[in-house]
Amino acid sequence: MSYQVKRSIVSIVLGIIVLGAYCIYAYSNYQSGAIAANDLKTWASTMLVFIGIGIFATIVIQIVFHILLSVGIAVQEKLRNGTVDESTINKTIKAEMVTDEMDKLIELKSMRIGFVVAGIGFVAALVSLILNYSPVVMINIMFVSFSAGSIFEGFTQIYFYRTGV
Amino acid sequence: MAKKILNNIRKLRFFANEMTQQELAEKIGASRQTIIAIEAGKYSPSLELAFRIAEAFGVSIGEVFSHEE
């Protein structure tokens, strides 16, 4: 499994966890009456907090991921050669992380899929307003669709790495 | 009808002292993943990358890539 595929899997898992946490938090608060159905300000601040959590978690997970990757490569080197040479490990890590034109093409194509999902969500959010749903439903649809777009982007990347582009 | 692009990279690597995919990737500034995809016909490289591959083996681009008839 390549570095890019591993990175995509980490990003998907993180996206699903953050989205799931938001859905559970929002639904339980809505059901208990802690957040009023028409209190847009509280909903907006809740979403902003979760966006912040998502960004922070992404940074932390990426750091942990790179540490684990380095450890994994060192262990592989140790098993293969019996010694751990720092320059060899650095060289292997550098080689693993090379991004070229295929990576950029896959990134662009998957980003397009992500935007399509987010775009569909945006249209659905507007339709919900026309159908007389509250603005809270609209912003929730938008939040979920943008998060889903990001998750779909990760799945699409894995698909292109597996099947080719 | 779209023609498939074929390549002789595996053969050329063999004749270049069994050059590994990683060695070729390093020579042309690409990732090993890209070399694997090109060899398997899952990715058609840009003209620039195709020229770099040909230069790495010291052959013309026509000797590396061909069109399926």
Answer for the pair A164, B40: CB distance below 8 angstroms, yes or no: yes
Separation between Cα atoms, residue A58 and residue A11, nearest integer Å: 8
Contacts of A60 (CB under 8 A, 6+ apart): none
Answer for the pair A94, B26: CB distance below 8 angstroms, yes or no: no
Minimum CA–CA partner of A100 in chain B: B30
Interface contact flag, A102 B25, Cβ < 8 Å: no
Minimum CA–CA partner of A106 in chain B: B43
Give SS3 for A165.
Answer: coil
Complex ipTM value: 0.84
Answer for the pair B50, A101: CB distance below 8 angstroms, yes or no: no
Summarised one tens digit per residue, pLDDT across range A71-129 is 888 888 778 777 777 777 777 777 778 888 999 999 999 999 999 999 999 999 999 99
pLDDT for res B46: 94
Interface of A with B (CB under 8 A): 2, 4, 95, 98-103, 161, 163-165
Angle between helices A3-32 and A135-163 (to 10 degrees): 160
Q: Report the amino acid identity of residue B43.
A: Y
Query: The tokens 């779209």 sit on which residue?
Result: B2
Answer for the pair A165, B43: CB distance below 8 angstroms, yes or no: yes
pTM score, whole prediction? 0.83
Instruction: Please name the helix (run of DSSP H) or strand (run of DSSP E) that holds residue B6, with its range, or none.
Output: strand B5-7
Please indicate whether residue A164 or residue A102 has the higher confidence score (pLDDT).
A102
Phi and psi based region of residue A134 (left: phi greater than 0; alpha: psi -120 to 50; beta: remaining) = beta
Summarised one tens digit per residue, pLDDT across range B4-58 is 889 999 999 999 989 999 999 999 999 999 999 999 989 999 999 999 999 999 9
Residue B15, min C-alpha distance to chain A (Å): 24
Interface contact flag, B31 A101, Cβ < 8 Å: no
Q: Which residue from B31, B45, B46 is facing A98, i.e. has the nearest CB?
A: B31
pLDDT for res B2: 64
Minimum CA–CA partner of B26 in chain A: A95
